[in-house]
Amino acid sequence: MFSRLTRPITVLALAALLASTAAVSQLSAGRAHAKTLTFYLIPGISSDAFYITMHVGAKAAAKQLGVNLVFQGDPNAFSAPTQIPILNAAIARHPDAILIAPTDKQALIAPIQRAVAAHIPVILVDTTINTPNIAVTTISSDNVAGGKKAAIALAGAVGFKGTVAALSVQPGVSTTDQRKQGFEAQLKHYKNIKYAGIQFDNDSATKAASLTSALLARYPDLAGIFALNTNSGIGVTNAAKTSGKAGKIKLVEFDAEPVEVQALRQGTISALVAQDPYTIGNLGVKVAFNYVNGHRSGIKKHYGTQEAIITKANVGTAAIKRFLYTRNG
Ligand code: T6T
């Protein structure tokens, strides 16, 4: 059943992950007297359960390897202007590696290039930039495939007819741009579904809620909404509840933040497209460790992690447990 719910991890990715883990344990055994390495993990926004869970995974690997891990991000905004000074401050401390989720695929190129020029290896986790080759590797879900899965789930939830809309963070974020691409391409297959387009909330649940209320006023027969990340989803869910349309309007949301999971259990959300941020963070630290220790030949330019479609029917199953995010960092 698990394989029907998730994209099977590729053989190559799994082999690379295992090889990386094996090399890691050999290395950690031989590093008893080496200096303690310091890695920075810079999330898109530090208060988001997705990045908190990524931090938990990264911390577990750091503990195993004796790495000092610093988690530093802005708690209030998912934005390049708030993230760049945090990256600059990290570069100034010259850590052994930086793991970063760039908040904008263009604006973060030059700041990341500065880290690379300072000989600090950079690993891109979750989001990427337009020049990913300057990084050691990128680790992420397949966000185009995730957007496609969301369209399939939403089309089914609305009975393959009616008007649907989408809410996202802002243009220029690699992950959500790819989700939009996958969603909109798949939606074209349903001739009786009309697309009212996508709106942007700057990762503010409050703005997402007011945009949703306006959408519901404009399209009283709106059948469904796709929310492309957690904060968009929380806002959409709140607006559906306050308008009295919870359960009637079909919601499909990315991520599996506790509030989203609760709304799924209550029937307000039809399906979640959950990611595996724990593995993204865990693998990121292990790859960085191998790289810093000169074990570079087996490192791939990209590692794909899984997504899972979560519904009321499978949310309680063992296979889904690892896709549920935590707020306890
Ligand atoms: O959806 C995740 C992440 O993948 C995306 O890049 C930004 O938003 C989240 O952090 C969830 O809020």
In angstroms, the CA 97 to CA 39 distance is: 5
SS (HEC) of 119-146: CCCEEEECCCCCCHHHCCEEEEECHHHH
User: Tokens in use for 294?
Assistant: 């000169």
In angstroms, the CA 90 to CA 323 distance is: 30
| Residues 6+ positions from 93 with CB-CB distance below 8 Å | 38, 40
How many CB atoms are located within 10 Å of the residue 7 CB? 17
- Quick check: CB of 325 below 6 Å from ligand 1? no
Distances (CA, A) of 207 to 238, 258, 327: 11, 20, 22
- Centre of ligand 1 to C-alpha 255, Å, is 7
- Residue 305 forms beta bridges with which residues? 141
DSSP 8-state code for residue 8: P
CB 223 within 8 Å of CB 249: yes
Name the H helices within 166-300: 174-187, 205-218, 230-242, 258-266, 277-292
- Centre of ligand 1 to C-alpha 34, Å, is 36
- Centre of ligand 1 to C-alpha 230, Å, is 7
217 CB burial (10 A radius; 0-12, 13-18, 19+): exposed
Whole-number pLDDT of residue 33: 52
Whole-number pLDDT of residue 26: 47
Per-residue pLDDT 10s for the chain (329 aa) are: 333 333 333 434 444 454 455 445 444 444 545 789 999 999 999 999 999 999 999 999 999 999 999 999 999 999 999 999 999 999 999 999 999 999 999 999 999 999 999 999 999 999 999 999 999 999 999 999 999 999 999 999 999 999 999 999 999 999 999 999 999 999 999 999 999 999 999 999 999 999 999 999 999 999 999 999 999 999 999 999 999 999 999 999 999 999 999 999 999 999 999 999 999 999 999 999 999 999 999 999 999 999 999 999 999 999 999 999 999 99
- Quick check: CB of 143 below 6 Å from ligand 1? no
**Domains in the chain, CATH or no CATH each:** 11-142+276-306 (3.40.50.2300), 143-274 (3.40.50.2300)
Whole-number pLDDT of residue 187: 98
**Which residue CA neighbors atom 10 of ligand 1 most closely?**
50
Q: Whole-model pTM?
A: 0.92
Ligand 1: atom nearest CA of 230 is: 12
Whole-number pLDDT of residue 4: 35
- Centre of ligand 1 to C-alpha 225, Å, is 17
DSSP 8-state code for residue 154: H
Strand order across the beta sheet in which 302-305 lies? 68-71, 38-42, 97-100, 122-125, 137-141, 302-305
Whole-number pLDDT of residue 279: 98
DSSP 8-state code for residue 34: S
| Residues 6+ positions from 32 with CB-CB distance below 8 Å | none
- Quick check: CB of 231 below 6 Å from ligand 1? yes
Find the angle CA(143)-CA(146)-CA(147) to the nearest 5 degrees: 90
In angstroms, the CA 300 to CA 111 distance is: 23
